[in-house]
Amino acid sequence: MNISHLDHLVVPVSNIEESVDFYTRHLNMRVERTDSGRASLHFGNQKINLHPAGWDFWLKAKTHLAGTADLCFVVEESVTDIEKELKSAGIDICEGPVSREGAVGEMVSIYFWDPDGNLIELSNYV
């Protein structure tokens, strides 16, 4: 087997609308909704499905809690510029810019939390 790429992931959240607002407003993702009202966040060729934490759906991770994700997004803009924008929007940067090792090499990253406490890392490859 050869895995080519990640298609989507699921993030359990405590409040779907609060998460949609955060990710669309601060990370410029776009939201799409199914006919049943389920929400997903889209960026590039990937998506994040937002599920209510503890959702009673038979096929899910065994531990389905809000605030347990650690997500890294590679961005085109300088993380230093993004850091200024986030701070002006009232988002606390908990670390960075710092040097990190990404999947394909050295990167510079900043870190902050989403409304549920998921750790968000924004990075530029060096």
Cis peptide before 52 (omega within 30 of 0): no
Q: Are 55 and 11 in contact (CB under 8 A)?
A: no
What is the tally of structural domains in the chain? Answer: 1
Q: What is the distance between the alpha carbons of residues 67 and 118, in angstroms, rounded to a whole number?
A: 4
61 assigned to some structural domain: no
Q: In the prediction, which pLDDT does 58 show?
A: 67
| Structural domain containing residue 38 | 8-56+66-125
86 assigned to some structural domain: yes
Residue in 32, 76, 77, 121 annotated catalytic: 121
We report the CATH number of the domain holding residue 15 as 3.10.180.10
Known active-site residue 18? no
3 assigned to some structural domain: no
Q: In the prediction, which pLDDT does 36 show?
A: 86
105 assigned to some structural domain: yes
| pLDDT score of 97 more than 70 | yes
pTM: 0.93
72 assigned to some structural domain: yes
